[in-house]
Amino acid sequence: MSALYRHNDAVKPASAPYGFEVTLEASPDAVCAALGHIRAELARHRLSKENLEVIELVMAETLNNVVEHAYAGAPQAGLIGVRGTYSGEDLRLRITDIGKPMPGFTLPAGKPFKRHEIADVLPEGGFGWGLIRLLSCNLAYSRMGDMNLLTLRIPLAAG
């Protein structure tokens, strides 16, 4: 795999949150590799399959949006930074890039739907921000100079 992908994870004492940091190229291959790494790292903390799937879905939607929109039309792939803190009750994420800003410098609303409507027959596309909003909370976006900063929290189900 030629996509740039590196990580720097430091496991802290059991009483403190676990943290990880990943820097990846804004490409589909690098997103896939980073998601695999993050899922494997979090699985070591005995998260349930459901929690791992929710985390992977939210992160995949978020990172792919950066690739497809923030860096759209860029002459070469830029970088995406991901910092996560897992405390057992939630996963807090900080995602940065230096691509294009969000339109209007605000988070998209996303297509609304209810959790029980996530089924076999959703049409392709347009549901990313709706899913992100449904499965996470405390979403915040800001533009600091050239950098986009997205923070969010994914509450984790017990078990």
The predicted-structure confidence for 138-148, as pLDDT tens digits, reads as follows 999 999 999 99
pLDDT of residue 13 exceeding 90, the answer is no
Please give the angle made by the CA atoms of 107, 108 and 113, to the nearest 5 degrees.
125
Average pLDDT over residues 63-91: 93
Digit-coded pLDDT (tens) for 78-87: 999 999 998 8
Q: What is the per-residue pLDDT for 32?
A: 96
Are 81 and 23 contacting, i.e. CB atoms less than 8 angstroms apart?
Answer: yes
pTM: 0.83
Q: What is the per-residue pLDDT for 87?
A: 86
Q: What is the per-residue pLDDT for 63?
A: 97
Are 70 and 99 contacting, i.e. CB atoms less than 8 angstroms apart?
Answer: yes
Digit-coded pLDDT (tens) for 99-138: 999 999 999 887 666 556 555 555 555 678 988 999 999 9
Q: How far apart are CA 95 and CA 132, in angstroms?
A: 13
CATH number at residue 60: 3.30.565.10
- As for how many domains the chain has, the answer is 1
**146: containing domain:** 5-10+19-155
Q: How far apart are CA 35 and CA 99, in angstroms?
A: 20
Higher per-residue pLDDT: 4 or 50: 50
